[in-house]
Amino acid sequence: MITLPLANFLAQPVGVSQFVIVGAIMFTCGAVCMATKRNALGILMGIELVLNGANINFIAFGSPYLRSDAGSLGMDGQLMSLFVIVLAAAEAAVALAIALNFYNNFNSIDVDRANQLKG
């Protein structure tokens, strides 16, 4: 039947590696976003993507549904994830304040305009 390979695919639980792959894709997207965007807020969005990819990894390492041995992080994974979320919020606030100041001073949000140390 056509559904047989699909059935094998969807009938087994997922492991940590699938979560890590998703986290890797998020991380890479964030890194490319940071590298290519000229808008300061675009760079900030890249930072958020990177931190979220790392969060997915932490949660996956600490999940009892994905791995069963004693090497699992357990609740530590979720606790670390909590702190990453909090720190990401704090860092976004500061970065946004800096971006707003930049906009007010140079009337442009393009980071390529910030090429002087003077001022």
Partner 1 sequence: MARGPGCGRQGFVRPSEAPRNAHVVAKYINQFTEQLLQALGMSVDPDSFAVSILGHVIAAMIHIFLLLNLVAVGALVFIWMERKISGRIQDRLGPTRVGGKFGWLQTLADGLKLITKEDLMPEGADPLLFRIAPYVSFCASLAAFIALPFAGQDMPFVAQHLNVGVFFILAVLGLEVFGVILAGYSSASKWALFGAMREAAQVVSYEVPLGLCAVVPVLLAGSMDLIFIGDCQTGWFTNWYVFHDPFTFIVFWIYFTCATASVNRAPFDLAEAESELVAGFHTEYSGLRWSFFFMAEYGSMLLVALLASILFLGGWNGPIPVARLIGLEEGGWLYATMWPGWGTYLAGLLGAVNVLAKGCLGITIMIWIRWTLPRLRIDQVMTTCLKYCLPIAAIMFLGATTWQFVIPGRAFFGFLPASQTAFEVKENWSDLLALPRQATSSPEDAPTHDPTPNPQPPPAAETGPKQTHRPANSPQPLTRK
Partner 2 sequence: MDTSIYWPTFLFWFFAAVCCMFAIGVVLATNIVRMAFYLVLSLAASSGLFFLAGADFVGAMQLMIYVGGTLVLLIFGVMLTSQAKFVSMKTSQFDWTLAALAGLCLLAVLISAALAIPEWKGLERAEAESLGIPQTATPLGMGLLGARVDAPQRSGYLLVFEIVSVHLLVVLVGAAYLARAKRKRSTAVG
> How far, in Å, CA of 34 to CA of 36, rounded?
6
- Chain positions 9 to 28 lying near partner 1, rule: CB under 8 A, are 10-11
Q: How far is CA 105 from CA 99, 108, 112, in A?
A: 10, 8, 14
Q: Which is nearer to partner 1, 31 or 48 (CB)?
A: 48
* 57 half-sphere exposure, CB direction, 13 A CA radius: 14
Determine if 97 is a binding residue for partner 1 (CB under 8 A): no
Determine if 7 is a binding residue for partner 1 (CB under 8 A): yes
For residue 91 the two structure tokens come to 């860092």
- Locate the DSSP E strands across 30-116: none
**If contact means CB under 5 to 8 A according to the sort of partner, which of partner 2, partner 1, none does residue 56 touch?**
partner 2
Determine if 42 is a binding residue for partner 2 (CB under 8 A): yes
**Chain centre to alpha carbon of residue 83:** 14
Determine if 117 is a binding residue for partner 2 (CB under 8 A): no
Determine if 56 is a binding residue for partner 2 (CB under 8 A): yes
> What residue ranges bind partner 1 (CB under 8 A)?
3-4, 6-7, 10-11, 64, 70, 74
